Amino acid sequence: MNPFPIPVRAAPLLGPGSQPDEDAALDVMPLPREMHTFEMPPVPQQAPPGTLEAATELLAGLLRDLRAWDFASGEDGPRVDLRGLPAPVLDIVGQVLGEGEVSIRVDGEQPLRIQETAFAGLWRCCRLDARGVRLHDWIEAGAVPGVVPEAARAGTAAGLAEAPLPPGVMNAPALLAEIGARLSAPDRTAHAHQLNLTLLPMAPEDHVALEQALPVGPVAIISRGFGNCRVTSTGTRDVWRVQYFNNMNTLILNTLEVVGIPEVVVASDDDLEDTIGRLAELVQWMDESAQPPAS
């Protein structure tokens, strides 16, 4: 990962001519123009006979499982295996579920591509082979798909990678000591421990030291809302890079988090409650669309 040094600007001088013209137009950073809001995905108006009914039945079954699932139990959420579905049915399921804010990539011998649907807490998960051919395809309900924290922890070290500090470091030694202390705590993932790099004077050598101690891990996540939030796992278990960019793709907040999974990518119980209601509306809509017109 490339370093993101924070630029240092000299303070303006005082005195005549040092202040901006009061009549000059105010130049401010533009505010985000778009905010993600839920829109019910469209139901196909024309589909091969039986395909809309089959897609409706599949989602109705998922809805029943969601209603029977206790979010607070800690048990895994419902899963629906999409393998073996006819391509037209699979296409309709993909269309009506749509795409949400969060995309996840998990690298490895069998990489994963995961996309949150337009229904928060419902995830479309695809496992691929080395050639990119789809091996498994499923829908999973939950705060985040279970394969994500598993992949982020698999093959990682319990502590920081040992590497000599380059000359010229400023704050990296203190940051690494703080991370090491948090990793030693018995409740290290009970709540997120955040280190805000944006507020610290960071030399390029500091970023080099952090990259050496925290190499990039297999999980990369993008959460789209106001701008983008990019989340990447590291080679150290439960340590994540969480970076926020505005709509102009400028880094505005650069952090490290010690946590099981960063909260920014997690669907809440309230999200899942809303999803049940919206999915019920979708299933009803699809069921009505599948009915033959009255003569």
pLDDT digits (tens, 9 = 90+) for 129-144: 988 888 999 999 999 9
| Mean of pLDDT over the chain | 85
Listed range (94-103, 174-183, 211-220, 282-291) with the worst mean pLDDT: 282-291
Q: How far apart are CA 145 and CA 150, in angstroms?
A: 9
pLDDT digits (tens, 9 = 90+) for 64-94: 999 999 988 888 999 999 998 999 999 999 9
Assigned token pair, 67: 């209603």
User: Is 9's pLDDT higher than 50?
Assistant: no
Q: How far apart are CA 4 and CA 251, in angstroms?
A: 8
CA-CA distances (angstroms) from residue 28 to 18, 25, 127, 231? 19, 9, 45, 28
DSSP annotation of 20 reads: P
pLDDT score recorded for residue 32: 39
Cβ 286 vs Cβ 56: under 8 Å:
yes
Query: Tokens 């709509």 appear where?
Result: 247
pLDDT score recorded for residue 68: 96
pLDDT digits (tens, 9 = 90+) for 108-126: 889 999 999 999 999 999 9
pLDDT digits (tens, 9 = 90+) for 177-205: 999 999 998 888 788 899 999 999 999 99
Assigned token pair, 49: 């006979």
Query: Tokens 């959460």 appear where?
Result: 223
Query: Tokens 């946590």 appear where?
Result: 259
pTM, two decimals, is 0.81
In sequence order, what DSSP letters do the residues of the chain get, joined into one string? ----PPP--PPPPPSTT-SPPTTSPP--PPPP-------PPPPPSS--TTHHHHHHHHHHHHHHHHHH--GGG-PPPPEEE-TT--HHHHHHHHHHH---SEEEEE-SSS-EEEEE-SSTTEEEEEEE-TTS-EEEEEEEESSS-THHHHHHHTT-BSSPPP-PPPTT-SSHHHHHHHHHHHHHSTTTTTS-EEEESTTS---HHHHHHHHHHS-EEEEEEEEEESEEEEEEEESBTTEEEEEEE-TT--EEEEEEEESSS-GGGPPPHHHHHHHHHHHHHHHHHHHHHHSPPP-
**Which residue in 11, 29, 9, 26 sits closest to 250, CA to CA?**
29
Residue 70 phi, psi dihedral angles, 5° rounding: -95, 110
User: Rounded mean pLDDT of 273-288?
Assistant: 93
Q: Output 167 or 2, whichever has higher pLDDT.
A: 167
Question: For a pLDDT cut of 70, what percent of the chain falls above it?
Answer: 82
